[in-house]
């Protein structure tokens, strides 16, 4: 298997990206293709003991930066590391693509310029594995700010296929993320999506509130990309705010400071459990290839984890699973019970 790692992705590229690729090559033994500025990658690679690892470099002369406007950059920087890397996947010279770069850029290059949508998929979506114990998926978490009910149906289908294959859960519980579980709750989008999900053949378990989602009440929570993005970012922000507040309060007295020191292993375990870096990245589902999108702030470990995720998605043929799931769902006539 060959996995492309975008060396020019993360906020402080190519350091974490290359270091993550090295860790991944060592841990998984798969071939890694580092795409980006060859000279810069060489420099980084020399800092690691990587000469015996199956790592190759594929030069790309341009970089889509975080500040770039996705639409423009995806049209104008045809030799960006994203274009070059995703073309390798499209042309079957690689099996998956991992990047911590500009999310909008990855979406545009993958969807409009290289891999393109799976036939029948209206909108590819980002599915994020929530960093809580039960590891549920939230989909879409940012690819589509404005959605139609049919998109949500397909997000549910794609999320369900992913979770079923990767986490080996039989008929995963799919829910709509909403402001209440009772009938009549939700905005218009949610209300219109309910009958589609209920009729879909998926294991639709109803509407779910954040409280139940955080406690593992569904394996896949479906939402539009605007709400999903705010929910994910709120969760991250509150977790980090709480950590900081606890740290501050612990250092306000001698006894609490000693207590904090003694309790340190517990805090480390909590941090590890809730660390977004642990889950790696977000799969972009609905395009003709495996794409894992990492946070711009990813460290080497997060990149390595994302390569592991990509590898697992290839092994379980997630693209084939989505194609198959879509065919099966189209075989069920819509509103078959009406």
What does the binding site for its own copies look like in residue numbers (CB under 8 A)? 69, 132-133, 142, 145-146, 177-179, 184-188, 190, 209-211, 213-215, 224-227, 229-231, 233-242, 245-246, 249-250, 252-253, 255-256, 258-267, 269-270, 273-274
Task: List Cβ<8 Å contacts ≥24 apart for 332-338.
Answer: 332/199, 332/200, 332/201, 334/196, 334/199, 335/195, 335/199, 336/199, 337/199
Instruction: Please report how close the Cβ of residue 138 comes to its own copies at its closest, in angstroms.
Output: 10
Nearer to its own copies, 204 or 213 (CB): 213
Nearer to its own copies, 75 or 133 (CB): 133
Q: Residue 321: which of 293, 291, 286, 292 has the closest Cα? A: 286
Query: How is residue 62 annotated by DSSP?
Result: B
Q: Rounded to the nearest 5°, which phi and psi values hold at 199?
A: -95, 5
Query: Could you give the CA distance from residue 178 to residue 189 in angstroms, rounded to a whole number?
Result: 10
Q: Residue 129: which of 302, 319, 320 has the closest Cα? A: 302
Instruction: Please report how close the Cβ of residue 293 comes to its own copies at its closest, in angstroms.
Output: 15
Query: Could you give the CA distance from residue 202 to residue 244 in angstroms, rounded to a whole number?
Result: 41
Nearer to its own copies, 53 or 279 (CB): 279
Tokens of 97: 């693509």
Instruction: Please report how close the Cβ of residue 272 comes to its own copies at its closest, in angstroms.
Output: 10
Instruction: Please report how close the Cβ of residue 72 comes to its own copies at its closest, in angstroms.
Output: 10
The 10 Å CB-count burial string (b at 16+, else e) for 325-336 is bbeebeeeeeee
Nearer to its own copies, 20 or 159 (CB): 159
Residue appearing with tokens 């219109």: 192
Query: Could you give the CA distance from residue 75 to residue 79 in angstroms, rounded to a whole number?
Result: 10
Nearer to its own copies, 226 or 301 (CB): 226
Instruction: Please report how close the Cβ of residue 12 comes to its own copies at its closest, in angstroms.
Output: 19
Instruction: Please report how close the Cβ of residue 88 comes to its own copies at its closest, in angstroms.
Output: 29
Nearer to its own copies, 56 or 233 (CB): 233
Nearer to its own copies, 112 or 246 (CB): 246
Instruction: Please report how close the Cβ of residue 129 comes to its own copies at its closest, in angstroms.
Output: 15
């Amino acid at each position: 298997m060959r996995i492309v790692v975008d060396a020019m992705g993360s906020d402080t590229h190519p350091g974490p990206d290359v270091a993550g690729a090295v860790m991944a090559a060592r841990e998984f033994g798969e071939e890694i293709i580092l795409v980006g500025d060859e000279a810069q990658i060489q420099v980084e690679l020399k800092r690691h003991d990587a000469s015996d690892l199956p790592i190759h470099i594929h030069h790309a002369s341009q970089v889509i930066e975080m500040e770039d406007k996705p639409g423009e950059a995806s049209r104008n920087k045809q030799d960006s590391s994203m274009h070059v890397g995703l073309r390798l996947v499209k042309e079957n010279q690689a099996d998956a693509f991992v990047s911590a770069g500009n999310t909008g850029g990855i979406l545009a290059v993958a969807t409009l310029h290289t891999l393109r949508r799976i036939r029948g998929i209206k909108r590819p979506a980002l599915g994020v594995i929530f960093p809580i114990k039960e590891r549920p998926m939230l989909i879409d978490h940012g690819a589509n700010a404005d959605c139609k009910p049919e998109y949500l149906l397909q997000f549910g289908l794609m999320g369900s296929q992913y979770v079923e294959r990767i986490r080996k859960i039989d008929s995963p519980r799919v829910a709509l993320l909403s402001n209440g579980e009772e009938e009549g709750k939700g905005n218009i989008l949610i209300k219109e999506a309910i009958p589609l999900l209920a009729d879909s053949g998926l294991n639709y378990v109803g509407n779910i509130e954040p409280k139940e989602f955080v406690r593992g009440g569904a394996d896949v929570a479906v939402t539009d990309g605007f709400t999903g993005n705010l929910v994910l970012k709120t969760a991250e922000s509150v977790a980090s705010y709480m950590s900081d507040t606890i740290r501050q309060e612990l250092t306000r007295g001698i006894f609490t400071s000693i207590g904090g020191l003694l309790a340190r292993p517990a805090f480390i375990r909590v941090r590890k459990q809730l660390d977004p870096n642990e889950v790696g990245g977000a799969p972009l589902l609905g395009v003709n290839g495996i794409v894992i999108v990492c946070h711009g702030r990813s460290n080497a470990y997060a990149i390595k984890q994302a390569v592991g995720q990509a590898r697992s998605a290839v092994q379980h043929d997630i693209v084939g699973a989505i194609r198959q799931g879509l065919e099966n769902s189209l075989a069920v006539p819509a509103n078959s019970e009406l």
